[in-house]
């Protein structure tokens, strides 16, 4: 009998340990410090959640040509002719369906060069929506002027 109680006690102890110790209660997947920094920065830039997702994809797929701020100065831009445009200048000239067509099917699909590749096979419709939302943010001048005051 005492031995049985012992065994039950052990199980109760184990369950309590698992419930409290391991896997902090109330939290979802394990913390990702890099992602936290990224989200914090995006919040400071005044981005919505969808735009933040778009920014992450943009950093992964587009920055190499378009540059960090979409100004057309990515590390691969010097190889390209025509160069990627400065989104702040160019995007206000284009409606969202045209931007979507470029992201999905590449600039060749709208009669321009073949230098901006099509993404429809690599990215889901939702991912493309987040990119479009982020392009909206890039098309506008930054809300907060950088150090040293205004941009120009
Ligand atoms: C290999 C380099 C490269 C990559 C990668 C790239 N682009 Fe481009 N993109 C270009 C170039 C070059 C142009 C201009 C092409 C032209 O005018 O013929 C362009 C043009 C565009 C335009 C039209 C801009 C305007 O206002 O005229 C959009 C929108 C765009 N890219 C979005 C994206 C997005 C979103 C991604 C990532 C998912 C991306 N591009 C990845 C090179 C690239």
Tens-place pLDDT, residues 40-97: 888 888 999 999 999 999 999 999 999 999 999 999 999 999 999 999 999 999 999 9
pLDDT of residue 150: 45
**Contact assessment for residue 52 and residue 41, using Cβ atoms and an 8 Å cutoff:** no
Domain topology for 35-139:
Cytochrome Bc1 Complex; Chain D, domain 2 (1.10.760)
Phi and psi angles of residue 35, each rounded to the nearest 5 degrees, phi first: -65, -35
Higher pLDDT, 11 or 41: 41
Q: How confident is the model at residue 140 (pLDDT cuts 50, 70, 90)?
A: confident
Q: State how far the Cα of 3 lies from the Cα of 12, in Å rounded to an integer.
A: 14
Q: What is the pLDDT of residues 110-126, one digit of tens each?
A: 999 999 999 999 999 99
- Going from N- to C-terminal start, the domains of the chain cover 35-139
Q: How far is CA 141 from the centre of its chain?
A: 19
Higher pLDDT, 15 or 109: 109
Which ligand 1 atom sits nearest the alpha carbon of residue 114? Answer: 18
Could you tell me the distance, in angstroms and rounded to a whole number, from the CA of residue 56 to the centre of ligand 1? Answer: 16
Q: How confident is the model at residue 152 (pLDDT cuts 50, 70, 90)?
A: very low
pLDDT of residue 44: 85
132: closest CA among 86, 100, 84, 106? 100
* For ligand 1, mutation pick of 61, 66, 87 (most atoms within 8 Å of CB): 66
**Contact assessment for residue 138 and residue 69, using Cβ atoms and an 8 Å cutoff:** yes
Could you tell me the distance, in angstroms and rounded to a whole number, from the CA of residue 84 to the centre of ligand 1? Answer: 6
Pocket lining: 128 vs ligand 1, CB cutoff 6 Å: no
Could you tell me the distance, in angstroms and rounded to a whole number, from the CA of residue 107 to the centre of ligand 1? Answer: 7
| Average pLDDT of the residues of the chain | 85
Pocket lining: 133 vs ligand 1, CB cutoff 6 Å: no
Which ligand 1 atom sits nearest the alpha carbon of residue 119? Answer: 38
pTM score, two decimals?
0.79
Which ligand 1 atom sits nearest the alpha carbon of residue 123? Answer: 38
CA distances from 121 to 106, 110, 128, 147 (A): 11, 18, 11, 40
Q: How confident is the model at residue 24 (pLDDT cuts 50, 70, 90)?
A: low
């Amino acid at each position: 009998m005492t031995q049985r109680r012992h065994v039950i006690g052990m199980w109760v102890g184990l369950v309590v340990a698992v419930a409290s110790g391991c896997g902090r209660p109330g939290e979802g997947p394990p913390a990702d410090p890099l992602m936290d920094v990224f989200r914090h920065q995006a919040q400071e830039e005044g981005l919505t959640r969808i735009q933040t997702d778009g920014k992450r994809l943009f950093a992964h797929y587009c920055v190499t040509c378009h540059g960090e701020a979409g100004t057309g100065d990515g590390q691969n831009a010097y190889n390209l002719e025509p160069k990627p445009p400065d989104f702040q200048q160019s995007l206000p000239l284009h409606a969202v369906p045209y931007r979507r067509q470029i992201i999905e099917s590449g600039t060749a699909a709208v009669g321009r060069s073949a230098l901006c590749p099509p993404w429809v096979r690599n990215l889901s419709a939702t991912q493309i929506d987040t990119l479009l939302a982020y392009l909206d943010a890039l098309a506008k001048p930054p809300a907060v002027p950088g150090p040293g005051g205004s941009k120009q």
